[in-house]
Amino acid sequence: MVKDYDFVIVGGGSAGCVLAARMSENTGISVLLLEAGGNDWHPLYKVPAGFAKMTKGIGSWGYHTVPQKHLNNRVINYTQAKVIGGGSTINAQIYTRGNRLDYEEWRQLGCEGWGYEDVLPYFRKSEDNDTFENEFHSKGGPLGVSQPCAPLPICEAYFEAAGKLGIPYNSDMAGANQDGVGYYQLTQRNAFRSSTSVAFLNSAKKRSNLTVRTGAQVQKIVVENGRAIGVELAGKDVTEIVRANSEVILSSGAIGSPRLLMLSGIGPADHLQSVGVDVVLDQPEVGSNLQDHLDLFTICECSGDHSYDKYAKPYWTAIAGLQYALTKRGPVASSLFETGGFWYVEKGARSPDIQLHLGLGSGIEVGVDMIKNPGVTLNSAYLRPRSRGTVRLVNNDPNTAPLLNPNYWQDPHDCKMSILGLKLVQEIMRQEPLKPFVKREVMPGSDVRTDEDYFNFACANAKTDHHPVGTCRMGSDNTSVVDTRLKLRGIDGLRVSDASIMPKLISSNTNAPTIMIAEKTADIIYQDHRL
């Protein structure tokens, strides 16, 4: 069975939903969006606090890393979204963009057209900001961007504590200046999650030229005579071929996109041959250059009910649900990580190199246990890791999970900076303004003192910040996977548009930049096809 569309988009995540919506604005072309996961029907996808359940398996592929050589062979859960809207449906909704210098570095690496002034209009194009309207922000776009509606008094105390260490308050960390602590804006509208499925796709679905299919897992890209002509989907009885008359656009993320390319015979020839995949194009960099933020944290016991921990109990969960239903406030309206900031640990760093997240509870994410009494978490992540990892195949079966090796701390510099970040968050939590709220430090705790202690603690407790990028690197050099118009080198009719194209990891959360990439890609495609 063969069906034809002008554009076939593989992956209905943060990028894919945006692309489908923007491309289908042109009624003269037909667009198909394919998503392996299901619809975002579950209430936990809608309410901000649902994030706490997401890292624990809802809407996820259930991946994990290979043993991390430089983390005492630790295996880390690696949540990757499997639901329409992708990461934007299951993340903590934090709206940050990275630093201006991140994009200037992209440009300096040969990615002309991707400097800060080039990408800023696309950030603004998406936004419907409930607070700011200026050269950095706009109103009227599809994506709800809002101030938190459920902070707690401990958040203000955290700002004061950071101030004692010389860290200023910043009311807009996605504006003129990234430095400081403050409330993150969130991808929310009216206290509901504003995923790209909700913000972009829901209204676009009404268009007759857009088809959206969930539960549609692509097995490979079909290439004939050096051109991508469509995709192959797994069917119950027969293989289904969907043809793309103009382009196949791969938007399956930093794990899914290189995985599908390799399953299609596009990748490092020696690796493909070793797992029984026929080589279509020897492209050594596919699946290489994997970068991610590694997260460390301190957990403190509170002196009272200063966090949202108690609402994990059934009685209080019901109370919180009622409060949310009536007022759109309280724990259910919280992303739980809506307070944070950016600061420095390396002398001479060109911009903030540590990101902070204040978690309004303990045991929020998978692999971290809740403490007995109410607690609060302060996370830190080193923002510009030098380590590079890989995505590889186990075999040629599309149903087999890939081998994920972020290769954390391959470069000892990453380890040093990460531990300095951990010590910084410990110091913040010890400051006078937090003493009415914080009873004691539980983790790392007083037993962690020496460099060896800190290293072992970090190896045992580190987790991903869910920011993988770079595995289909963009560049102007011939070895890059895609060019600066995101066309795959060596295969016509094939483009990649998602976080995998980032040449270097940006200094923040990656969801807003991924949406920006999709917005810009849509314009590029319109230009290339004169649509």
Assess contact for 234 and 253: CB atoms under 8 A. Answer: no
Catalytic residue among 42, 466, 467, 529: 467
Known catalytic membership, residue 467? yes
Joined tokens for residue 511 = 């969801």
Alpha-carbon gap, residue 84 to 87, rounded angstroms: 9
Alpha-carbon separation of residue 336 from 186, 293, 379, 507, 520 (angstroms): 11, 19, 12, 21, 31
Assess contact for 328 and 306: CB atoms under 8 A. Answer: no
Q: Alpha-carbon torsion 297, 303, 307, 308, what sign?
A: positive
Q: Which of 213, 229, 216 is nearest to 264 (CA)?
A: 229
* Alpha helical stretches, state H, 55-197: 87-90, 100-108, 116-126, 153-164, 196
Q: Which of 430, 431, 432, 424 is nearest to 454 (CA)?
A: 424
Pairing of strands 192-193, 390-392: unpaired
Cβ atoms < 10 Å from Cβ of 517: 28
Amino acid at residue number 419 = I
User: What residues contact 333, with CB distance under 8 A and at least 6 apart?
Assistant: 47, 48, 49, 149, 150, 191, 324
Q: Which of 465, 415, 425 is nearest to 343 (CA)?
A: 425
Give me the active site residues, please.
467
